[in-house]
Chains A and B, each alone.
Chain A
Amino acid sequence: MSARIPANGDANAGAASTTPSTDLGLKGRDLITIGIFTALYFALTMIPMFVSGIHPMVWAFFPAMAAILGSVPFMLLCSRVRKPFAILIMGSVMCLITLTGSFTPLIVGLFVGGALLAELARYLTHYERYLGNAVAFAFFSLGWLGSPLPIWLFHDAFAAHIAQAGMPAEYVAQLASVSDPIWMAACIGATVACACLGSLLTRALFRKHFERAGLV
């Protein structure tokens, strides 16, 4: 996972920085690309987070909505950095960002676990196939499940906590209506389905725009 590959004395290293390097070690340019696309992923997935306050049901399906919007930066990153550990680093940076916002430790665990599975999926498809990247994205999308998951895993304690934190009583009452485990299964299923849909939509965007522009 070493990022600092010994300098090879190539005088044209700067000029060649836009062309993907063929060796499997992550270089400085790859790490910068990961940082930028992680910022984009975080920003785009925050859009559905802001509307999730309308109703607990919307919150329960926030990871599914995030999977559609987040697919574009994720797949673009996968196509530009075809090397091991890129997604694991992306997941780790997401953990660092979310830790500052009073999010649950569940998000951290799910992002790291999802990123590890995503790395495995990419490894098995040799970092080349779009299908492998799509499967990797489905795993990675499970990371945001950590946001609504306490509704089902720790329902009573969680309802008491948010009531104590000042959430309106009607919101806490509505929360009970989605606390049935069937909704958890629906939430996970919808997240995976929306991740697949997002990958398909991004594939269409790649063909329509990014391949023509020479970005992938």
Chain B
Amino acid sequence: MGLPATSRSRQGHGGEGRGGLLRLDPRTLLGLLVASTLLSFLGLPLWLEATLVLVLALLQAACGHAALAVRSVVTYVVVVATLDLVLARLGIVFVSAFTYSLSLARSVFLCGMCCALIVAECSVHRAAAALRALHAPEPLIIPFSTTLRYFPTLVRDAGHIRDAMALRDIPLLERLEAFVVPLMVCATNTADDLSRAAVCRGIEDPSRVTDTEGLRMCMADWAALASAALAVAVVRSGVLL
């Protein structure tokens, strides 16, 4: 049910028009995310961790997200410098929670970089098409896509509620209730609005969903996946540790 190549090229492609050297398939990006998750369980030495961060930053830049790559590297340098140079020399108890948070951020930094690349590179529609291509069941794809799409709305709604609360003198004990109740009302209304829109757009149509993304794995995708698998295998074997 895919569209012809000429039509495909006009469809909303996640990173179209950004001038990147590479255009990776979302399935490849998901594979990289899995590999980075596995690597984060293995406990990497600093030099290897820094190398992998640089490789991922180069990949981000090659995909046309140079600003994201620079931000990732700078953030990593700040996190490592704060942990290893500043906090390591302060034996103060109250910084332990901060140290813990930074250590956690550092341990999942590679995953975060992959997630950032996925968000920058593909729309939710494209991610859903990738899950569909991976034969994920439809009852899972729709809620998962809705969940991902709802997070920015949730942040915006929470900001509006916080602003409204700041205008009123609400006692401390009532603040949680004053925050949660409007958030739930907003969510319920959003669910109703989205449902109406989705029903009108044919979400309950039993026919197979048309593939408007035209996802295709190319040489670069296979090379990226093979490199990620090789990195996990080598690190797991302990040769580099």
Do A and B make up one complex?
yes
A100→B115 contact, CB < 8 A: yes
A4→B138 contact, CB < 8 A: yes
B residues 73-112 with Cβ under 8 Å of A? 83, 87, 93, 96-101, 103-104, 106-108, 111
Interface presence of B139 (CB below 8 A): yes
Interface presence of B195 (CB below 8 A): yes
A36→B146 contact, CB < 8 A: yes
In the complex, number of A-B residue pairs with CB atoms less than 8 Å apart: 178
Interface presence of A189 (CB below 8 A): no
Alpha-carbon distance between A76 and B188 when the two chains are bound, in angstroms: 9
B14-22, B36-44, B161-169, B226-234 - interface stretch:
B36-44
Alpha-carbon distance between A5 and B203 when the two chains are bound, in angstroms: 10
A168→B100 contact, CB < 8 A: yes
B187→A14 contact, CB < 8 A: no
Known: A3-B142, A7-B204, A100-B37; 5 extra A-B contacts, CB below 8 A, are: A17-B196, A29-B204, A43-B154, A101-B111, A166-B83
A-B contact pairs, 21 of them (CB 8 A): A5-B204, A7-B204, A14-B199, A14-B200, A17-B195, A18-B196, A28-B203, A33-B191, A35-B144, A36-B147, A37-B187, A72-B180, A80-B191, A89-B139, A93-B143, A102-B111, A165-B106, A165-B107, A168-B96, A171-B99, A215-B184
Which A residues are within 8 Å of any B CB, using their own CB? 1-7, 13-15, 17-18, 26-29, 31-40, 42-44, 50-51, 53-55, 69, 72-73, 76, 80, 85, 89-90, 92-93, 96-97, 99-102, 161, 164-168, 170-171, 205, 209-210, 213, 215
